[in-house]
Structure 1
Amino acid sequence: MAGHDWASSGLGAPESWPDGLKIPLRMLLTSRFEMWLGWGEDLRFFYNDAYIPTLGVKHPSMLGKPFREVWAEVYDEVAEQVARVRQGESTWNEALLLLLERRGYPEETYHSFSYSPLHGPAGSVDGMLCIVSEVTERVISERRLDTLRMLAAELVGASTPDAVCEAVARILGINRRDFPFSLLYIGTSHERTAVACTEDAEELLHQPWRLEASSGGPVTVELPAGTAYPTGAWAIAPRQALIVAIPGADGETPVGHLVLGLNPHRRRDEDVADLARLLAGQISGALANVAALATERQRADRVWAHSRDLLVTVGADGIYRSVSPAWTRILGHATDQVVGHHLDEFVLPEDRQDTAGALSRAAAGADLTSFENRYRTATGEVRWISWHTAREGDLVYGYGRDITEQKLNAQALASAEQALRQFQKMEMIGQLTGGVAHDFNNLLMAIIANLDLLKRQVEDDPKTARLIDGAIKGANRGASLTQRLLAFARRQDLDLNPANVTTLVRGVADLITKSIGPEIELRYQLDGAIPHALVDANQAELALLNLVVNARDALPNGGCVTIATDRIDIAGDAHLPDGSYVRLSVIDDGIGMDEETLARATEPFFSTKELGKGTGLGLSMIHGLAIQLGGALRLSSRAGEGTRAELLLPATEERRPVPPTLQIEPRVDAEAATRRSILVVDDDPLIAMSTVALLEDLGHVVTEANSAAEALGLVEGGDRFDLVVTDYSMPKMNGGQLALALRQMRPDLPILLASGYADLPPGADIDLPRLAKPYDQKQLQREIAKLLGS
């Protein structure tokens, strides 16, 4: 600077320079930081020794020259900042890219710098101070390290050669400053895969490259000037390319090659081959891992090919290293879709946390025994797997058995056990209610018979007769209750005939309308073409009315009740034989039932109605009737969403026979037309006494026996009887056995069997006229008239 001719520069001799220039100039010249300043209208250029490397070949010729001339190649990029400084504003730039021609060509450089205004004597901005730090090496090094890191991360999950190529293409397609274009070749000339890392480089795959020339090390080739090459991040195309071999497992024989277009603005003395070697090494390692993985897969296939259970190796990271072919048979995924993937891709989300904990324990050295989790198959099904594990090195070896069938069988067994317990419970209740109904019928028999006789004694006393009528009505209601109990217990005598259920519904439509009331909308969806069902018409109508009344009671604020009939085919039902059924449905949109109430709805005496408003026998009676008919009662309901009751009855091809010509039964007068000798047999003296009284009131001669043995003794002793009326349920010898014994002695002796069971217990196959308890005198008189023809 001392030897420079400053007089010709327009600044004059240094002694005449203003303090505004000399003071910052002294600081600049003595500083070890890179600094320059510009002074005057054209910003004459001053700099210190630390800035000389940045100037390069422009030192020292640019000393005192205008700033615009010194950095002509980049001045337009900073001109706006210079204008702001002249207005008194400071500026800052962090790692700004500048293509500086400091070595005779545009070179990629990065600088962090600030521009600060310098004030002259008059206070105006007469100059500009720049403190600068070149960060070119740092920026380029970080960029290249990022490329290596990203490629390593992408290659971790690559389990096939194609996956390796895709990973390389993704990463090299990002860094287009170092390599404006990149080509990857995998394999030998006989079987080679070629990949362009960017679309604009695909045409270059058809260009011949001297790949084999790189076997001794990276080779730089000049690119022909007449060919259009991708420019990448730059405005001009690369002039050179680098070919580097990808070493194989032996470190010598190449398994592929990289062709890398070189940055046209790179420093000429820079050795970019080091970066290329590192990239090739990463690719080599990934291909070696792929080859090793393929070898391990083949080994596993050979060792495990015949295993019927799952055999896997998995890392502590949850990545499958190998799986046996049984995986495909059990879970449906191909093995190459599993190896290299995380177990979370296959385990049900609900089981992932437990599975991760189990894997952590196994990876820590604990041997798992019978650890169970669920896997999703390729078709979306769920399979239960029971695992045993052992650790060796960094891998967990797992042996998994498919226990889905055992799980399903266990669930089915549990359901069957629950159903069996429910059946046993209901059977026990049925037996209990049947027995209660039988004993209750006997009690009602005595009450009704004696009330009937008593009424005859007080016919001239209207008040007393009215009271007796009330008592008889109450007893008859009790008899109706026992009928419901017997229906639930499936011990009632049914009059079965083929019937059209739709016709039955229409037949009681008026009664349904009266029962349901005007506040509720009644709808019918009846199918007149449904097949017949074998039913007891009276019991079916009663069941329908019960369902309708239940639906009405579930609509305290009004609503809609729908009655529907249709045909339904059932197959594979655990509770019903396969076949066609007639379905009678009653649907309401009322208050519905919760799960607990729905589960108990068909239990006898269970009711949600307030005390005195229901017996709790309606649904249980329908349930018993349905089972007795070979069908079922199905209930579905949710609280607040209404209830659907379906009575399923087996369909039949039978038709009701044409009724015979009506036979007028003989008229039965109040007194017997003929005086008969009748033997009454009942182990309950109260019942026997009541029956005897009814018969004697009819004018018959009656003999009472309180056991079957006593009755047989009378007949064997020579007593002659015109008729025997016997109870069925008696100790030691029941009524059926008594009838067989009497027929051996007197085959022509008429026998009338009376029972508190509306239907005899199983095994009681007796072809005898029967009279169900409780009965009144008229019913008894009518049956005797039929038997004796009087």
Structure 2
Amino acid sequence: MPSSSEPGQLPKAGAPRSSTAQSLRRSQAALPRLYEELLHPAFLTITLVLLLSAAVLAFVLRASFVRTLDAGAERASTLSRLLQEQTAGSIQSIDLVLQSMVDAVSTFRIPEHDAEFQRLLDKRLRVLPHVRALYVIGADGFITHDTDHPATPRVTLADRDYFRFHRSYSADALHISEPLISRSTQRWFVSVSRRIGRSDGGFGGIAVAALEPAFFDRLFSELSLSENDAINFLHADGTLIARSPTGQEFVGQNFATSRLFTELLPQERSGSYSVVSEADGVERIVSYRRVAGYPLVVTVALSRSDLLANWKTVAIATTTGFLLLTALVLLVTLRTIRNRREQRLAHERALTTQKLEMLGQMTGGIAHDFNNVVAVALAGLTMIRKHLDNPSRAGPLLDETEKAVHRGADIAARLLTFARHRELVVQPGDLNAQIRSLEPMLKQAAGSSVSLELELAEDVPECLLDNVQFDAALLNLVINARDAMPQGGSITICTRSHPTTDKPQQSSTSFACVQVRDTGSGMTPEDMQRAFEPLFSTKGEKGTGLGLSQVQFFMHQIGGQARLSSELGKGTTVELLFPCVS
């Protein structure tokens, strides 16, 4: 035989076993049981209910998500309408002041930088918080009246687009320019201006209000928007006039090629859309409006993430709570299924014990009666032997009869052992020697159509045995294997210093294994579960259902264990685990 150190061999008796390997084998053994619990109807029902609940929760959260975004879009629309109205009102106020300036300059001959007229302009400026300065530009392009006087430098403004517009266009129209850099303050501003006509119809200059983007920062603060929200004021040609609260570096840039100016405004004067801002990369819901009567566009952009912040908090809390509740329900369901399964198994074990007790009592009574008959027969044979006239002729017959009676007494002893009326004679024994001594009887029991082979390991330690019960158990297993192979086959009896499967749980004892393996028809999983039950047999009327139950009972008595594995059409293997002598 190969040594235990060769590949594929089991370790020697007493060798330490890897705790990792034990854990792995226990996990593998628990997988079928867990799979069975997961397929339990109660667990599947609970799982289906939880899945439906999850679908409902997902639907509710989705609907809440859509409502939150719709509410954000509605809020942006309301704010943009408010800004549009406020902007239109502000421009109208500026226009009234500009018209009064035009009327004053056209009607009266006011000297350049007249102190009285400047005080009037300062008074008008105070009621226009969104305007930085009011001034009048003469027909030659130089400022003649200015609320900043005398700080304003004397420079010509004849090259400004808004000046050239009024000089070349004689109609009395309000003009709003693109963002410009002030030559006096070096800050951005938007000019709102009107033409001043002379009595002869000629060009007399223009009245101007300098509107600064800082005004829009004040509007933003009044609207209580978040730091990721933004309001934008754009010229109708796409030039950005102002952006709050951040992005002043983009003022003056032209966005005429953006979706707002190429697709949306040509179709609708107001609306909403989603966009990732080019300024800061934030995704926003944008509501836009064209200011009626003026070349201005206002937009309110609300951060999508800020709008969804409360929804995300509620969604995360709800989802987390649902998942925890789901896990708890599933764990409780699995635990309940497991408890009921254990209760059912305990009940089945109790019924098996009751059957064994009843069978033991019945067997004990029969064995006692049979033993009495055997005793009488032996006494009769003894008396007959004493009164024989010719012992040489009748002696052999009497010897055979006496042997048969002794075998009957042995059977009665085994029945009494099964009925717990006979104490086991447990002593150290050699498994291999016991099997070899029984080999002729085992081959005879297997029959001529079945081959019986022994694979006995050399390093099997001594085990605790009752020789009589061991012989009976092994004979039972061989007979069962033979009956499972009516067309012939093979039976292999193996011994190992360690079992091929895990030793009994919570046991520190070393075990040796006797394995009886056949190539018969095998058993169904249902039959395997009942194989050790008393009175259960797969042989129909030919079987008594006592063989395997007697084997299991014997193994439990000596502190060992009987195990069964089988596959339909491929044979059956029975393992007997015997405690080794320490």
Q: TM-score range by the shorter chain?
A: 0.3 to 0.5
Which structure carries more helix by proportion? 2
Give TM-score scaled by structure 1 length: 0.35
